[in-house]
Amino acid sequence: MPDSSYGASQIRVLKGLEAVQKRPAMYIGDTSHRGLHHIVFEVIDNSVDETLAGFCDAIEIVIHTDGSVSVIDNGRGIPVDMHAQEKRPALEVVHTVLHAGGKFGEGAYKVSGGLHGVGVSCTNALSEWLEVEVRRDGHRYTQRYERGKPVTKVTKGEKVKGTGTATRFKPDPLIFETVEFEFEYLARRCRELAYLTGGARFTVRDERTGKEEVYQYKGGIVDYIKALNSAKSPLHRPIHLVSSRDDVDVEVVIQYHDSYQETTLSFANLINTMEGGTHVTGFRTALTRVINQYGRNQGLLKEKDANLSGEDVRDGLTAIISVKLGAPQFEGQTKTKLGNREVDGLVNSLVGEGLATWFEEHPTEARRIVRQSQVAQQARDAARKQAELVRRKSALSGGMGLPGKLFDCRAKDPSVSELFIVEGDSAAGPAKGGRNSEFQAILPLRGKILNVEKHRLDKILGNQEIQHIIAALGTGIISGGNGNGDGRANPDEDESTGEETGLFDLSKLRYSRVIIMTDADVDGSHIRTLLLTFFFRYMQPLIEQGHVYIAQPPLYSIKQGGKTYYALTDEERDKLLAELPQRGRAMYRFKGLGEMNAEDLATTTMEPETRIIRKVTLDDAAEADQIFSTLMGSLVEPRKEFIADHAREVENIDF
């Protein structure tokens, strides 16, 4: 009965793809902006795998005007021959069977870059249509699918030169909440991949705007660290360590500069491990050990001196850690923490050996690094004393320690009360008028908000606006702060005394909701990024426990027939204008919160029954933190671009 097995496999395929369509979030995380882009990355990952295998050096991503996206590579081309078991062309199997990618034929990959590894069949299932074109064996082959199902056979076309795979697809609007692609989001990841693959050329083009970026970095992560430190004063040339053991590849690049912030980026199989993990722990333990050992051996650290802590040796450190392994385990809230136990000791010993050798060979630079860590140690002692002082002051003075600018609410029960952090005194007016003073408090921020990237803890705590926020919330802060992109409240798992986190106490939180309310423009979004970065680094549990929100004030009001309608975006405005009759209609554009009257602000943004607010996730905050680092901290090019794009807000940013 030759046909029954064919039928059975077809049914299995249908069930698989239907499961993806029924529960997309199970496969791609969510169906919002992030999930939408995830299905593009799923396709890009396949091309990147081909790059890692050494067969592909150019990948092109195009956003088309019809809402579809193309991913084009010059790899070997997905095989089109018959799949022995499935009795269908391999190309079709890859697109219709879950987890089929890379597992077929000879070319199975040792290391795969896909995050969830769900494969292109997921992208296919969640697309209104998908067309794939393979150049292979001197011919063109094509196939088209609609909502995951093949609507043509794999068709052999005309003769062509070269090899490669081109995939074009249009995300299904019945599945995704938004189908609007964001050029910057795709470009950012492609730039990262260009650094991590070290040589492959990534082109990202947006046919809606004509924008195009090309990323290619022959020096790999050494180029990456140079870019990160390009606006800083490095103490030495990048230290580049490459080694492997037990089928795990470890590549690390380290460069100290003369300012304070730590920037550690870590990757496992090219995935940005924002929550850190065993590779980061191994790296940190090795770094602390080698610097202390060298300092002791050279007599820079005296017998009576305390050891340098992990935090001390990371002041002014930029580091990129990239590991590749066969079976990565991803853990943590956002599945971006590497969990493989064996990696810790392995990275620890490989980095330890490499770094110790480098120190012996570069005594001048090595001494400079030890000396900088010692300065950090002294400053940290001083900062700790000051932090303790700030906390004691506010604890001793009880309610009296609240900032004068705070318009507090009457309710003293944190579980019912909310704090609105608003931008500028002009916005404070309507916010005060629009609030319910029984349970809603207002804290206006004024003047320059400190650039937390550039300053050490003692300076940050000295900043007025930051002090007001800390005092109003009542929780205190995590005194070490989080290293950039690390995502853990206490990064020093290997050496912590618990002292570092002792200053933060979530049970002291005076409001259950902390709502950031800024203008719906670029200035507002910038201040929001700054605040999220501060919360991410110094009050992370606040975000983890879901206490931070973003208000969404409207950009437009449209009055028509005695009723008022509001629009948050230009798209919403256009939709309303199309729906409402034109006669007697008046539209108004709010240039800022300060221009809204109290009633408008209350209904749209403040009253719990009618407002729109958004809960901030750790992911949002981590992303803000990364955007912030990129814009303010380091990369010169994006910063220039940013300033050019938003010149008028620059006066409010402390560079």
Residue with Cβ nearer ligand 0RA (52 or 653): 52
CB atoms within 10 A of CB 375: 13
Task: Give me the residues paired with residue 557 across strands.
Answer: 566, 588
Q: How many residues does the chain have?
A: 655
Measured distance CA(614)–CA(533) in Å, rounded: 17
Which window, 43-51, 356-364, 490-498, 641-649, contacts ligand 0RA (CB under 6 A)? 43-51
Q: How far is the CB of 58 from ligand 0RA (least distance, A)?
A: 12
Per CB under 6 A, contacts with ligand 0RA among 64-83 are 73, 75-79
Residue with Cβ nearer ligand 0RA (93 or 596): 93
The distance of Cα 627 from the centroid of its chain, to the nearest Å, equals: 8
* Angle subtended by helix axes 33-52 and 183-197, to nearest 10: 20
Q: Which of 152, 393, 373, 392 is nearest to 258 (CA)?
A: 373
Select from 13, 16, 20, 46 the one that contacts ligand 0RA (CB under 6 A).
Answer: 46
Residue with Cβ nearer ligand 0RA (46 or 482): 46
Q: How far is the CB of 195 from ligand 0RA (least distance, A)?
A: 21
Which residue shows structure tokens 């709502």? 515
408 in catalytic set? no
Q: How far is the CB of 53 from ligand 0RA (least distance, A)?
A: 8
18 within 8 A of 11, measured Cβ to Cβ: no
Q: By CB under 6 A, tell whether 117 contacts ligand 0RA.
A: no
Q: How far is the CB of 172 from ligand 0RA (least distance, A)?
A: 21
Tell me the H-state helices in 60-182: 90-96, 120-125
Q: How far is the CB of 328 from ligand 0RA (least distance, A)?
A: 20
Measured distance CA(185)–CA(178) in Å, rounded: 14
Query: Minimal CB distance to ligand 0RA: which residue?
Result: 107
Q: Which of 198, 191, 222 is nearest to 44 (CA)?
A: 191
Name the phi and psi angles at 185, rounded to 5.
-65, -45
**Residue spans of beta strands (DSSP E) within 224-316:** 239-245, 248-256, 263-268, 271-272
Q: How far is the CB of 44 from ligand 0RA (least distance, A)?
A: 9
**Selected catalytic residue, list 86, 519, 623, 625:** 519
Number of chain positions touching ligand 0RA (CB under 6 A): 14
CB atoms within 10 A of CB 598: 15
Q: By CB under 6 A, tell whether 625 contacts ligand 0RA.
A: no
Measured distance CA(77)–CA(135) in Å, rounded: 6
Q: How far is the CB of 181 from ligand 0RA (least distance, A)?
A: 19
Measured distance CA(149)–CA(126) in Å, rounded: 11
Q: Which of 553, 535, 382, 560 is nearest to 458 (CA)?
A: 382
Q: How far is the CB of 203 from ligand 0RA (least distance, A)?
A: 16
Q: Which two tokens stand for residue 593?
A: 């919160």
Per CB under 6 A, contacts with ligand 0RA among 151-210 are 165
Select from 7, 30, 105, 110 the one that contacts ligand 0RA (CB under 6 A).
Answer: 105
Q: Which two tokens stand for residue 438?
A: 């029984």
Residue with Cβ nearer ligand 0RA (53 or 242): 53
Select from 47, 127, 292, 336 the one that contacts ligand 0RA (CB under 6 A).
Answer: 47
Q: Which two tokens stand for residue 597?
A: 């009257």
Q: Which two tokens stand for residue 152?
A: 């043509």
Q: How far is the CB of 61 from ligand 0RA (least distance, A)?
A: 13
**Selected catalytic residue, list 133, 523, 600, 625:** 523
Residue with Cβ nearer ligand 0RA (113 or 354): 113
423 in catalytic set? yes
Q: How far is the CB of 291 from ligand 0RA (least distance, A)?
A: 44
Residue with Cβ nearer ligand 0RA (95 or 289): 95
Residue with Cβ nearer ligand 0RA (106 or 246): 106
Residue with Cβ nearer ligand 0RA (59 or 555): 59
**Selected catalytic residue, list 212, 223, 521, 619:** 521
Residue 479 Cα distances to 115, 460, 504, angstroms = 33, 11, 8
Measured distance CA(385)–CA(230) in Å, rounded: 33
Name the DSSP letter for residue 633.
Answer: I
Q: By CB under 6 A, tell whether 50 contacts ligand 0RA.
A: yes
Residue with Cβ nearer ligand 0RA (132 or 593): 132
Residue 300 Cα distances to 14, 295, 353, 535, angstroms = 68, 5, 21, 37
Task: Give me the residues paired with residue 461 across strands.
Answer: none
Mask 553-592, x = binds ligand 0RA (CB under 6 A)? Answer: ----------------------------------------
Residue with Cβ nearer ligand 0RA (77 or 295): 77
130 within 8 A of 167, measured Cβ to Cβ: yes
Amino acid symbol at 600: D
Catalytic residues: 423, 519, 521, 523
Binding site for ligand 0RA (CB under 6 A): 46-47, 50, 73, 75-79, 102, 105-107, 165
